[in-house]
Structure formats: structure tokens, C-alpha cells
Structure 1
Amino acid sequence: MAPSTTQPSIAIIGSGIGGLGLAIGLLKQNVPVTIYEGAAKFDSVGAGIGLGPNALKAMALMDETFAKLYDEIKVGNLDPKRKNEQFEALGAEEGLGEATGWYGGHIGDPKFTRSSAHRKSLLGVMKSLIPEGTVKFNKRVTHISQPREGKGVYLEFHDGEIIKVDTVVGCDGIKGMSRRAVLGSRYPEEVASKYAKMYVYRGIAPIEEAKAIIGSVAENAKWFMAPRRGWAMYPISDGREANIVAFIQDINPWVGEQVARECPREEMLAEFTKFDHRLQKLAELYLKPMKWPLFHHPDTPTYFNDRICLLGDSAHASTPSQAAGAGQGLEDALLLSRILGLVKSPDELGAAFQVYDSIRRPRAQGVVRESYEVAIEYFLEHPVYGMDMQQITDAANKRLPLIWWHNLEADVVRATDCFKLLTSTTVDSKTVESTKPISHSVLTKTDSTASSIEKAAAGNDVLTPLAEEIPVSTNG
């Protein structure tokens, strides 16, 4: 029987940055898509989001208008002399490190330009590129299934409606049900996210008020480091506000639901008694006494199961230590949208997801694991660097360019070639297993000590076999 030549129907679950990014990339190629969102409207909850050069490149490769609109809302360091810094590393103790002779470590690159935005502003830009009617609100998915008889995926919604589509891309976040649909039957131990043994307090301060307390330090991105504590602060909202994220390393497991938990204000302030008095004042005035637990997905064995695929936090939720999580979601969106743009029939979806998984998963999972390792460094708990701020700064300046300057154009070319190879004949499991291995190394090893990203890439020189076609059902 000749393969179908009908363009597949694509459903995206979730209208966050990953879901909207994928839709933008698909629509630019005139690939129809529908987004199903459980909420009544777009969710603007959140504060600052940092985006590196790789994220901006992904935007431009998906849709140049996306990149241009983001350029209008992005905020960098307010001091032009510090535009090339991701952040300055300072001590959190009284004097901000000066008592020990540390006057700041500059983390960045001459080619790097700091870029961040309020999540609400970023989503506003992305929404403007999505035609009306593309997003279906109040459509919370309660059940996903892939029956043995016939291809396709069934989605059941809380209102009782059931639809069948050719494929589903789960962009429903770290707690989304699509992860269970992909991993539940084969890797049940990897469905739930893992507590990263840290939580954060968040706050937003008017920039002028912050400057009145801590001076010009508030104008540019800073990371104040202390044993098992950290404080990130950077401008957002066109430079009118400073976003504050205070990190606490936790020696205990997180008990109960994976949600923010209110605590007494006195308990929160007690976390910072060894900090500089100016940081303590900012905590008193602007931090909210809510503990936000940080969970992540350090191990995700596959990003797809037959016709269901994961993207963004549902695949590789990360701690924010490198400000790289959103950028990895946009890299996902770029590559998957380009591959799906090549798909001429539902029969080719398996090959599309296999290529996406083979290229994106090693790099994204490497970023997840490395971000956790970086958090340990910034807590001054690294077994080698300890409290040596210079070594910490040097390591960051060596590591971050591997994220920032990754060749996304090469990824797209590699994905295109790989997809064409796999679809040049009728693709079945035997064909795939006999295909000559194709290298998908993500980063080039630069020294004898490989980072988590490099180690992940090194073990990914063969294509992942197509997922076994098995029924998947999830509830709630």
C-alpha cells in the first residue's frame, strides 16, 4: 500500500513559551496547528526570563519578526559598559566580598549581550504572532491514548469532548500529563520530576527604590554568593524594576505537592542573617514569604512515544542557574518545527520524532545536569573550587559559551539530512535498526574535563530506535 500523503493534524498541549514557540515556527512554514490550553486565557504568571544568544538565534530562525519584536522589549544591564556581562559575581556577606579582597568577577563574553524580559512581555510578543482561533482555551486534557488499532492520538478534555489527531506535542510543563503519556509504560520511574534540593524566594523591586538601598549595584545583573545561599538580581520591565531570586540549598526532601508554600516572614528573613545589611533590607521590603521548590528532569530516556512528543519543560525542566531553560525550549521549537515542516504524511512522524530526539535530547539533558552542577558551585559547595570566587568565575566563562554559541543552523541541516535519509524508503523498525549510525555530537570537547553537555553528546552517536507502538493512557 502506498503511504499516505495527507498533511498530519498537529495538536499542541499548552500555550507557554514552548508551545507558542513551536506554533510560531510551524505557522511560518504554513503548517496548520491547534493549541489546547486548559486555562481561560494566556498565563502571565512569572517574572524575569533570561535569554542567551542561542535563544535569540532560535527566534530569528523560526521567524525574523519574532526576533525583531523581542528586541523591542528586551532589557540588558543599564550600564553600557556592562552590556557584555551575563552577571557580576559578588559575595553576599557584609561588604559584598570586599573584606576578603574580592571586588567582583565578570561573567560574560565580548560577543555576548545580556538579554532578559518579563515573562508577560515575552508572551505578549509571541501571542501577537499567533492568529486568532489557533489557541483553544478552557480545554484541559484529562486523558491521552494511542490505541493499537490504527494510527493517531485521542485527546479527551474535561468538558467531555474527545478528538483524534495525528500527533500531539506536549508543551504542558514540568507537571504536565504528556510526560506520563510518553514515559509511563516504559520508564515509569522517570515520569515525576526530581527535587533539586533547593527552593527560592522571589520578589520585584522598583529599580529606583533598589538603588536607594544598594546603589548602582541594582542597575546591572548580579549574583551574590554565600555558603548554601545565593541571590540573583537583574533589571526587567524596560529597566524600571529589578527582579530578585534568592536561592536556598535544602538538605531535606520536599514533602507534599510540588507547589509554592507560604512561610512566616520571620522564617524567610532568618535565611539571610549573614548577608550584607543592604540585601537584608531588600529581602525585608520586596521578597515574598513563599518557598518555591525547584524540581528538574535530570534523566529523560526519550522525548517521544510513537505519535506523542515532548518539548520544553515537559521534556527537560531545569534549575535556573545558567538562565538556559527557556532557551532550550526555543531550541526545541526551532528544530521540531523545521522537521515537522518536512513531514508529508502521518507515516513520517516516527522518523521526525526520532531525528528530533537524537539531536535535541543529549544537548538539553546536558544543560539540565550542568545547571544543577552550577548551582552547587554557586552555593560554594564545589568539591574543588569551594569558596574560590576566581575559579568559579573562570569556570563559568569557559562553560557558558558552549550554550550560547551552539550552531543551530548546523542542527537544522543535520536534522533535514537525517530525516530525508530515514524517509527515503518505507520506514519500519528493521530499516531504522539497519541504518548506518549518523553522528549527532552536540558540542565539541575543548579540554580533558568534559562538561555534562559534552558528556551527553559523546554518548549519542547513533540514532535512537523508533518507539514501540503501544497504547498510552493517562489520567489527571
Structure 2
Amino acid sequence: MNYMSPSLANSTGAGIGGLALAMALHKKGISFTLYEDAKEYPAGEDAQDIFFEGMPLEEGLGRDKPWYGHSGWGHPNYIRKSAHRKTLLDIMTSFIPIENVKLNKPECSVLAGADGIKSAVRAHVLEKYPSQITSVYAGAYCYRAVIPISEAYEILGDLTDVANFYFGSKRSAITYRITGGEEFNYLLCVADSLDGWKVKGAVTETISHEAMMADFKGPGGFFHHFRTASYYRGRVTLVGDSAHASLPFQAAGAAQGLEDALVLSNVLAETAKFPQRGGELAPFIQAGLSAYDSVRRPCAQKRLEQAAEVGRMIFFQHQEAGDDMDKILPKLQQGRFN
């Protein structure tokens, strides 16, 4: 039997990590409330695919279920290991009871901050480490857009059939199909100086078409939480990008949020078995969050560091490989995507 306070766990943020945690808690019978400000998921800003790798999550992501996704293109035996982010968010939202979604003042035993790269909860958790609260500009930015595959095919032809990663001196491009192959997502990336981002407090900027074209003769900056001393403080913890916002070059950021939810939900399920309530439960909660931190933080921070290293490779700025593809490719193939 589970002994629970009126709301054992609250999650701020209905992104991948927050929804995954809410789904897991609901499945385990753990009371929770999900808080979210946004009323919908913007398709353009959430166009990237999410690649499931690392921990063997596939069995928990719908395999053999009627709603399990299948590739909209390619060989019929190909098992697709990625998902369009907005589509995945819509599916995950359908599993959350509407009565568990609130916009009012939260009261709970545990607060999980899944409120993204500009997390307010992170400021509380890392109060003793003020230099680690705000995400750090990673010295690169990108232009991202989604266009119909018919328009992309007119420009790139058969190059639209598979995902492509183009390397270059301080420039790179990433292209792939989404939405069952009906749309084409592309990112044009530019390497910059570490102090090059001038828009304070924002991770995107709107600029003119002429300025954008000059870059490749409204970028979005690449920011990450490169150092994080702890994923929890007291009975408050971090999940997803609020804990370990990363560069996109290992396509593992969202999957890390799913792994956070998997570990944290199991920790909270064990905590809920104790008969103590209220303040008496606090030591058990803190012990559980310490265990969550010890499991997730080393793994997620390693991914984050590897993503930054891959970024240096694709811009030909790696300290060892430089612009030598004979050195870059073995590094990518022998560990940087493990």
C-alpha cells in the first residue's frame, strides 16, 4: 500500500521530461499535479526529432502497442528510433488526466522542476552556486525552419531522402525529414565567439533576411548548462533541460529527460511506501533525491560534455582533429555517439 500526502509530487513544465514524469507517476498510482503556462506546443519551434538511445527505453515507449509509431518512409523493416517532438508531446499529453493539470499555487511534498533551460526552479536548487544558474552561451547559433518536403525536394533532390550532417569551417548544416516524411527540418549552424551573443536573457533573436544571408555568403543561440553542482536541494529537484540543457549534436537531450523521469518516478514510488507523512517524510524524500542525483547527474553531464565536443568537431575547431576528416570520423564512430 502506498501512503501519500494529498499531492506527493508536483512537476512544473509540460515538456518531454515533465510529461514523462507525470505519466510514470500516474502509472504507479502516485498523486501528482502538473503545472504549465503554455496552452499549446508551437510546431515550428519544436520541429526537431528526438532520438532514443542510451538506456533501453524502447520497450517503454509503445513497442507492440497500437499507438506505436512507424516510419512514414524508407524500408518497411526499418525500426524508427526517433519521434517528431510536437507529435510526441501531443501523444504524451493524452495520457495525463486533465484534473492533474493546474495553473494555481502549488503545495506538495516534492517539487520537480521540468521548466526548461530558463528554469526558475534551478535558481532555487543552485542558490549556493550562482554562476551555474543561468545557461551559458556555447559559442554557436543556428537558423531553423520547417518546409514542405515538396519544396525541399525541388532544391536538394534525393538528398532529402536521408538525414544529412554537413561539416565546414565555422559552418554546418543538419537536415532530415519529419512528420511522416511530409516535412523537411533543417538547421544552418554558425560557430561564434563565446561572448558573441548580445541579447541578454534570451536564447533567440529576430534579424533581417539580409543579415541571415550574410552569415552564409532570427538566429537561435546554442546555450547549455555546462556545470551543475547538484540536481536537487532539500525536496526540490531538477528534470530535463532545467538540469542539463545541452547542445543538439548528440540528439540526446530529450532522451535524457526521459531517463530522468524513469529514475525519479521509481525513487518517488519507493518513497511513497513509507507510512510517514508531512515533515516526517522529508528525510526519506531527500535520501531518494540524493540517489536520483547520484545516478542521473554523472550520466547526463557526460552526454552534455560530449555534445559540446561534437560541436567543436563539426565546426573544425576540435583541438586534436582540426579539419582532418580522417581524424574526426573515427572519433565520432568510436564513442561520441555511445
TM-score (norm 2): 0.89
Kindly indicate whether the alpha-carbon contact (under 8 Å) linking 1:26 and 1:32 is maintained by their aligned counterparts in 2. yes
Are 2:136 and 2:224, in contact at CA under 8 Å, matched by a contact in 1?
yes
Q: Is residue 191 from structure 1 mapped to residue 133 from structure 2 by the alignment?
A: yes
Mapped partners of 1:70, 1:381: distance in 2: 43
Which of 81, 85, 102 is 1:119 aligned to? 85
2 CA distance for matches of 1:18 and 1:26? 12
Q: Show the 5 A alignment for 1:86-105.
A: none
Is 1:18 paired with 2:17? yes
Alignment partner, residue 28 of structure 1: 27
Segments of structure 1 that go 5 or more residues without pairing to the other structure are: 84-112, 140-156, 274-289, 403-476
**Distance in 2 separating the partners of 1:215 and 1:227:** 25
The match for 1:134 is: 100
For the structure 1 residues 29 and 5, does the alpha-carbon distance in structure 2 shift closer, same or farther, using more than 3 Å as the test?
A: closer
Partner of 1:358: 294
- Contact 1:203-1:243 at 8 Å conserved across structures: yes
Q: 1:216 aligns with which of 158, 161, 178?
A: 158
Counterpart for residue 48 of structure 2: 48
Structure 1 position 370 matched with structure 2 position 306: yes
**Matched-pair contact (CA < 8 Å) for 1:49–1:326:** no
Give the counterpart letter for 1:372 in structure 2.
Answer: A
SS at match of 1:165: coil
Could you tell me how far apart the structure 1 residues matched to 2:22 and 2:64 are? 15
User: How many residues are paired up?
Assistant: 325
For residue 385 of structure 1, what is the amino acid of its counterpart? A
2:249 to 321, 341, 347: 321
The answer on whether the counterparts of 1:16 and 1:171 sit within 8 Å (CA) in structure 2 is yes
| 8 Å contact from structure 2 (residues 144, 187) kept in 1 | yes
Q: Unaligned stretches of 5+ in structure 2?
A: 275-280
1:51 alignment partner AA = F
How far, CA to CA, are the matches of 1:27 and 1:120 in structure 2?
A: 21
Query: For 1:22-421, what aligned pairs fall within 5 Å after superposition?
Result: 22-41=21-40, 44=43, 45-54=45-54, 57-58=56-57, 60-61=59-60, 65=62, 68=65, 71-72=68-69, 78-80=73-75, 115-136=81-102, 139=103, 162-184=105-127, 186-251=128-193, 252-255=195-198, 256-273=200-217, 290-343=218-271, 344-345=273-274, 346-347=281-282, 348-400=284-336, 402=338
Structure 1 pair 323/246, CA: closer, same or farther in 2 (3 Å)? same
Cα deviation for residue 400 of structure 1 reads 4.4
Q: What is the rounded CA distance, in whole Å, between the counterparts of 1:6 and 1:172 in structure 2?
A: 24
Q: Which amino acid aligns with 1:365?
A: Q
Secondary structure at 2:69 match in 1: helix
Which AA in structure 1 matches 2:204? A
Equivalent in the alignment of 1:407: none
Take 2:327 and 2:201, find their aligned partners in 1: how far apart are those partners? 37
Tell me the SS of whatever aligns to 1:72.
coil
CA contact 2:223–2:246 (8 Å) conserved in 1: yes
**Cα drift, residue 74 of structure 1:** 5.5
Q: CA deviation at 1:68?
A: 4.1
Cα distance change, pair 132–43 in 1 and its aligned pair in 2 (3 A): farther
% identity of equivalent residues: 35
For residues 376-418 of structure 1, give each alpha carbon's deviation from its aligned partner in whole angstroms, at most 9, with x where no partner exists.
001011122122223222211112452xxxxxxxxxxxxxxxx
Distance between the aligned counterparts of 1:71 and 1:361, measured in 2?
30
> Which amino acid in the other structure matches residue 192 of structure 1?
T
SS of the residue aligned with 1:262? Answer: coil
**TM-aligned CA deviation for residue 195 of structure 1:** 0.5
Q: Give the letter for the 1:292 counterpart.
A: G
Query: What amino acid sits opposite 1:342 in the alignment?
Result: E
Query: Contact between 1:52 and 1:114, CA under 8 Å: does it hold in 2?
Result: no
Q: Amino acid of the residue matched to residue 35 of structure 2?
A: Y
TM-score, with structure 1 as normaliser: 0.64
Give the Cα–Cα distance (whole angstroms) in 2 for the partners of residues 189 and 22 of structure 1: 28
Q: 1:42 to 1:234 in 2, by over 3 A?
A: closer
Deviates more, 1:392-401 or 1:290-299: 392-401
Secondary structure at the aligned position of 1:164 is classed as: coil
**Shift of residue 41, structure 1, vs aligned partner:** 4.2
Q: Alpha-carbon deviation of 1:266?
A: 1.4
1:48, 1:116 within 8 Å by CA — same for their partners in 2?
A: no
Q: CA contact under 8 A between 2:148 and 2:184: conserved in structure 1?
A: yes
What is the CA distance between 1:49 and its match in structure 2?
A: 2.2
> Equivalent residue of 1:381, what SS?
coil
